[in-house]
Amino acid sequence: MSIVYSKKDRIWKLDTPHSSYLMAAVDEEGFLGHVYYGNKVDDLGIDYLTRAYAHPFVPSENARERCSFMDLFPAEYPGFGLGDYRTPAFCVRTASGSRGCGLFYRSHKIYAGKPGIPGMPATFAGEDEADTLEILCEDPENRLEVTLYYTAFRNMDVITRSVSFRNKGNEMITLEKVMSLSVDLEDPGYETIGLFGSWARERHICRNPLGMGSYRIGSFRGESSHQEHPFLALCTKGADSDHGQVYGFHFLYSGNFVAEAHRSQFESVRVTMGISPEGFSWGLMPGETFSLPEAAMVYSSEGIGGMSRTFHRLYRKHLIRSPYRDTPRPVLINNWEATYFDFNTEKLIDIAREAAASGIEMLVMDDGWFGARSYDDKALGDWIANEEKLPGGLPVLSERIHELGLKFGIWMEPEMISPDSDLYRAHPDWAIAIPGRTPAMSRCQYVLDITRREVLEYVYGCVRNVLSSTRIEYLKWDMNRQLTDVFSLGLTAEHQGEFYHRYVLAVYELQERLVTDFPDLLLENCSGGGARFDPGMLYYSPQIWCSDDTDAIERLSIQEGTAMVYPLSCMGAHVSDCPNHAVGRNTPFQTRGHVALAGTFGYELDITRIPQEDRRRIPDQIALYHSFGDLIRRGDYYRVANYSENGLYDCWAVIAEDKSEALVTYVQVLGQPNYKARLLILKGLDPDGIYEISATSEEDHFEPVMVRSGGRKEPEALRLSGRTLMNAGILADRMWGDFRSKLYHLKRVEL
């Protein structure tokens, strides 16, 4: 059991392999306080740490200074308005309008395993993998019962958190702010790490010193968003990929969120994470329970890389449920960048024929196949194939694709409605809108109010009909706009504040039904690129489209940021045509392939029109994917160099869990004149293992005589020990030109 309780000291200790988390109930009233979180410690009786804060002011000994106690005490789940002036974890409003709230410990239980959260994604673990602590607290004046859930994983440094609220009174209590996580840490001068971006520039790493006051990130766009990501890390100054202490906090939720680090007067920092309170309230009726989404905490004393690998393992083994999680995904070709809306059956068949001849395994038909959808301003909601484009509809197309030996995938955007659609003409009131106010359009579309049962049933019926109408092996579920003008005709005035969360619950319900009814379907979530790339969606789909920017160089930063928390196995990445549609850049086909290999791998181009020499390379790229796919899906990820920091080159490695094999990807972003070969100091290998190193051959290209390497021995001839590779490193030869890349495969050999 990784959780122990000392009755004498009223202290709990949660252990993971390398970290400990301690809490204590303090004073007669049972204030629940945070004691310690960090490197593993042996002793249980260290609640003096918490008492250090409380000491001169413990209320039972010093009633006149209760406020000082409240404002010093590292409360485990702090309320509002009773003297703790730091960021509260929760605020409620009672029927009388009062807002003061605070919790006291009442009881707890500890058990093996991990409970789920009703209607929401959550990590899962068996009784031999994790232990759970439930601490029941009470706010007696408000007749509110709050249960804090902690699960400590036995074989990884993860503690998950969640909270539930129960109204034990006779009147409605309005929850105004409810965080899933709150933790007070001593602050040695932390820095924050977050993932920020925009459409086509998602999840770029951003690091800042944590100053006094609050550092706050969040989204109230109705989804986790392109712009800010529900992830926040605190790290010690100077922490890098391999060194330093890092606390990573990630919210397993797909809607509005906030994450805040509040550094206050006594050099302590309170981290809170949960549903964004902006626009949120929840009317909790007598007897009702409200469960919060899960938040995961990862502690690493091996730098950012250690944190990343732990998140990767957590999500690969304890979050993604799809049967595709561990199996090869079919190499797909998607027609979006190939044709946009301008296609018909014959065009798709041409692409499919050529794709099949090159070894591609699935054709995905993207946006534009239904209703009168000739452009993005119409027909969302009319999920019937357009027979002018696709004579005989989906069954004929699917059959013809399958005859070519390919699987067939399809795109839908089920949550949306175009004003110019049959659905809107029939049900204008199904679009989200505030009565009397014209709702704002985005991409010329509105959002369906799926919090209403009849709308949700219609939406699910459409998805089910499409998928049941013919053989479809893959669905790309898109969402191309963020929420505005929220209001539901299905909610009374006092419950309107529930809308955003109910919307997310409806998305989860739709996706749960989908994966239950179509268990073999390969589902890829997407939101105008990567705006709903979050752990919530990962519970339903084993892969998520990373970004609409498919340029290999832009993708280096996007994929580096994404891989800070997510395993490569879930990052939707495709080889596209050049000049790239997002940035107009020309990159070698080989580099595009190597970068897409660090994700799900596929194509997004008109294979009938790309240059012959690119087409000829596809079978070899697919062979690479098949030989390294397993390693990439399951291996441990190590950052060797960061283009986002050095501005010149990028390098990462994926290493098998048993260290028997590694794949190193090196990208020379900018060529430099008169420069030596680059030294790559590898990581994560078996120091005593002997590795045979082979390198991919370079793409043919013109190389003037003056820069040739003069026949220096390529590393493929080398056999070196892991210790040598991790200390002396290998040389990546200078390549002539920009945007060039190379793969190094390392295989441990038996001697």
Between CA 743 and CA 738 the distance in angstroms is 16
Range 44-63, binding ligand DGJ (CB under 6 A) = none
Scanning the structure block, which residue is given the tokens 């945070």? 34
- In 459-471, which positions are buried (b, 16+ CB within 10 angstroms) versus exposed (e)? bbebbeebbeebe
Q: How many CB atoms lie within 10 A of CB 116?
A: 13
Scanning the structure block, which residue is given the tokens 């020499």? 613
Known catalytic residues are 478, 548
When binding is defined by CB under 6 A, the residue of 260, 534, 548, 606 that contacts ligand DGJ is 548
Assess 382 for contact with ligand DGJ (CB under 6 A).
Answer: no
Nearer to ligand DGJ, 215 or 545 (CB): 545
When binding is defined by CB under 6 A, the residue of 149, 533, 545, 566 that contacts ligand DGJ is 545
Contact 145, 169 (CB under 8 A): no
Q: What angle do CA 542, 204, 501 make, to 5 degrees?
A: 55
CB of 433 to ligand DGJ, least distance (A): 22
Residue whose C-alpha is closest to residue 597's, from 638, 632, 630:
632
Residue whose C-alpha is closest to residue 67's, from 76, 77, 54:
54
Task: Provide the pairing of β-strand 661-668 with 730-732.
Answer: unpaired
Residue 571: what are its φ and ψ, rounded to 5°?
-95, 110
CB of 557 to ligand DGJ, least distance (A): 18
Contact 553, 739 (CB under 8 A): yes
CB of 341 to ligand DGJ, least distance (A): 9
CB of 119 to ligand DGJ, least distance (A): 27
Nearer to ligand DGJ, 131 or 382 (CB): 382
Contact 87, 260 (CB under 8 A): yes
CB of 443 to ligand DGJ, least distance (A): 8
CB of 421 to ligand DGJ, least distance (A): 15
Nearer to ligand DGJ, 226 or 407 (CB): 226
Between CA 201 and CA 205 the distance in angstroms is 11
CB of 224 to ligand DGJ, least distance (A): 15
Between CA 503 and CA 505 the distance in angstroms is 5
When binding is defined by CB under 6 A, the residue of 47, 367, 420, 661 that contacts ligand DGJ is 367
Which residues, at least 6 apart from 64, have a Cβ–Cβ distance to it below 8 Å? none
Assess 599 for contact with ligand DGJ (CB under 6 A).
Answer: no
Residue 120: what are its φ and ψ, rounded to 5°?
-135, 155
Nearer to ligand DGJ, 528 or 689 (CB): 528
Range 520-539, binding ligand DGJ (CB under 6 A) = 526, 528-529
Contact 296, 303 (CB under 8 A): no
Nearer to ligand DGJ, 335 or 470 (CB): 335
Nearer to ligand DGJ, 360 or 695 (CB): 360
- In 380-392, which positions are buried (b, 16+ CB within 10 angstroms) versus exposed (e)? bbbbbbbeebbee
Q: What angle do CA 261, 262, 266 make, to 5 degrees?
A: 130
Assess 478 for contact with ligand DGJ (CB under 6 A).
Answer: yes
Tokens at residue 331, please?
């190499």
Assess 315 for contact with ligand DGJ (CB under 6 A).
Answer: no
Count of residues in contact with ligand DGJ, rule CB under 6 A: 11
Between CA 550 and CA 370 the distance in angstroms is 25
Range 628-687, binding ligand DGJ (CB under 6 A) = none
CA 493, 495, 497, 501 dihedral sign is negative
Assess 336 for contact with ligand DGJ (CB under 6 A).
Answer: yes
Nearer to ligand DGJ, 15 or 548 (CB): 548
CB of 413 to ligand DGJ, least distance (A): 7
Between CA 614 and CA 607 the distance in angstroms is 9
Range 260-299, binding ligand DGJ (CB under 6 A) = none
Nearer to ligand DGJ, 280 or 411 (CB): 411
CB of 500 to ligand DGJ, least distance (A): 22
Assess 480 for contact with ligand DGJ (CB under 6 A).
Answer: yes
Q: Is-cis flag, bond preceding 579, omega within 30?
A: yes
Contact 306, 300 (CB under 8 A): yes
CB of 479 to ligand DGJ, least distance (A): 9
Q: Residue 506: which H helix or E strand, with range?
A: helix 499-517
Assess 500 for contact with ligand DGJ (CB under 6 A).
Answer: no
Contact 669, 693 (CB under 8 A): no
C-alpha 600: how far from chain center: 15
Residue 618: what are its φ and ψ, rounded to 5°?
-60, -45
Tokens at residue 599, please?
């994700």
Residue whose C-alpha is closest to residue 114's, from 131, 97, 94:
131
H-type alpha helices, 518-660: 535-538, 552-563, 589-596, 612-634, 643-646
Tokens at residue 285, please?
């009726």
CB of 548 to ligand DGJ, least distance (A): 5
Assess 411 for contact with ligand DGJ (CB under 6 A).
Answer: yes
| CB-nearest residue to ligand DGJ | 367
Contact 743, 594 (CB under 8 A): yes
Tokens at residue 454, please?
């009849």
Scanning the structure block, which residue is given the tokens 């926040």? 232
Nearer to ligand DGJ, 357 or 441 (CB): 441
**Residue 162 buriedness (CB in 10 A; 0-12 / 13-18 / 19+):** buried
Identity of residue 60 = S
Nearer to ligand DGJ, 445 or 668 (CB): 445
CB of 334 to ligand DGJ, least distance (A): 7
Task: Provide the pairing of β-strand 231-235 with 191-196.
Answer: antiparallel
Range 245-264, binding ligand DGJ (CB under 6 A) = none
Nearer to ligand DGJ, 514 or 582 (CB): 582
H-type alpha helices, 319-446: 336-339, 345-358, 393-403, 422-426
Nearer to ligand DGJ, 306 or 528 (CB): 528
When binding is defined by CB under 6 A, the residue of 84, 145, 354, 366 that contacts ligand DGJ is 366
Nearer to ligand DGJ, 80 or 370 (CB): 370
The alpha-carbon radius of gyration of the chain (Å, integer) is 27
CB of 363 to ligand DGJ, least distance (A): 14
Identity of residue 312 = H
Which residues lie near ligand DGJ (CB under 6 A)?
Answer: 336, 366-367, 411, 478, 480, 526, 528-529, 545, 548
